[in-house]
Amino acid sequence: MRKSERPPSLRRKAAAMVLPALLSAAVPAWAPAQPVGLPDLGDSSAQELPPRLEQRLGEAIMTESLRDPAYIDDADLNQYLTGIAAQLSSHAPAGTPAINVFAVRDPSINAFAMPGGYIGVHTGLVVAAQNESELAGVLAHEIGHVVQRHIARGLVQQKQDSLIMVAALLAALVASRGNSQAPEAAMAFGQAAAINSQLGFSREAEREADRTGFQMLEAAGYNVNGMASFFGRLMQASGLNESTGQAFTRTHPLSIERMSDMQNRARGVAAQVRPSSSDFYFVRARMRVLQAAGSQETLEAIRYFESRITETDGIERAAAYYGAAVGWLRQRDFDKANEAYMAATSGARTHFLLERLAIELALARNDTAHAVELARSAYARWPRQRGLAVAVAEALQRAGRDQEAVGFLQEQMLKWSGEPRFHQMAAVSYSRLGRVVNERRAMADYYAMTGALPAAVEQLQQARAASKDFYEQSQIDAKVREYQRRLKEERDLLKRFQS
């Protein structure tokens, strides 16, 4: 993030202005905090910043990030990244929060940990990884920051700065009732950006994350050389002043000492041969296209894939054809996209991202009936892919089959209880069907799941006003009380943090 032009005195004034709003609404803006010079606080960090408050910070930041153009709203990509993180974190110490990884549209090589176990990964990092173990090595390092609670420890380093940061992060969603352009939100977002631009993990914190991450990497069965090889290339690139290495090395300071420690640890264990999965190659190809800014960069990505087609074979060639197809689809050249898709699937090769591409092509051509058929067939084959479930619902909605979409989405809500998008999509279909109470309740669930509790309460109040059913009103009242109780608990936590 760019540094704010506001002077320090105005930063403190802005924080003072938004703190009262924070206590009344408790809702925040996007800013991946990276603390500097962490003291060895041990368990005192938990006393200063309770885990529940840290989790709420992460939820609230993610609420705002969903509206950030850099956030990639792609269920398949985020499921893939979170799946690797789940393999790694299953070997983390007890008490580690669930890790959720999301992709950020940015060609620079970087990744960052946020409060509550949320980890952002730049598309540039995935594109630069030469194999899956290198990607897993970076994720293991970031999970190490979560395990060591480096965010919490950084927030309590200096109490005044902590208050400014917490205010900036939380108050930006004070307008969560729907007005994201409120002056308070814009002001707090600016403060969060200004604070974040001055932060970076200390070298000791980086070493802690290295050690913790290495242990998880080994236990999960990845090639332990992945972390050292990827960081080594970044360190070399940074030393040569290449822009590709600067983003990561600026926020994650590398050193000869750290590199030696990683290499020594790798030599101390038996090297495990773990070939990259097909998912890695297809996800990497998709991210190369998604990070392209505009038509010219998309064409450059297509040319890259066309060169790879002649240089590779097997799964890597199929992924190159797939990447070219995604690029041509983005250029709205449907014939070339279909030609590349057919080449990728030659020899009866299948992959869930190839099937999803076929669905996207059908929808782009407005062939909604075929899209529904393709989506249902693909989902039956890969029922664990959340992105294909989204594709089924989207195809049904595009075909005007909202009653079917509602039934399908209700099934997915039970299957994927942590996926807020299904509730948001259900609200759209309920609205088209004229079912106002169901629409408002679905949106309330969506807001509650994304951390915007005040907005959830408002939606429920609107649902109650529209309902004529006593039993339904009683259910809504109970849910409102639950959300208000949660809001009160969070305000109490914040007050204790300030005292």
Q: What is the pLDDT of residues 295-340, one digit of tens each?
A: 999 999 999 999 999 999 999 999 999 999 999 999 999 999 999 9
Given pLDDT bands bounded at 50, 70 and 90, which one contains residue 164? low
Given pLDDT bands bounded at 50, 70 and 90, which one contains residue 194? very low
**Once rounded to an integer, what is the mean pLDDT over residues 135-147?**
91
Taking CA 227 as the corner, what is the angle to CA 61 and CA 200, rounded to the nearest 5 degrees? Answer: 40
Q: With a cut of 50, say whether residue 399 has pLDDT above it.
A: yes
Q: H/E/C letters for each residue in 467-494?
A: CCCHHHHHHHHHHHHHHHHHHHHHHHHH
Q: With a cut of 70, say whether residue 282 has pLDDT above it.
A: yes
Instruction: Tell which residue, 252, 42, 236, 54, has the closest CA to residue 137.
Output: 252
Burial classification of residue 376, based on how many CB atoms lie within 10 Å of its CB (0-12 exposed, 13-18 middle, 19 or more buried)? middle
pTM of the model: 0.81
Q: What is the pLDDT of residues 243-278, one digit of tens each?
A: 444 555 455 555 556 666 666 667 667 667 789 999
| Cβ-based neighbours of 9, under 8 Å, separated by 6 or more | none
**Could you give phi then psi for residue 182, rounded to 5 degrees?**
-60, 145
CATH numbers and ranges of domains, the chain? 8-267 (no CATH), 401-499 (1.25.40)
Kindly state the tokens that stand for 365.
């051509």
**Once rounded to an integer, what is the mean pLDDT over residues 23-37?**
34
**Once rounded to an integer, what is the mean pLDDT over residues 37-48?**
40
Average pLDDT of the chain? 79
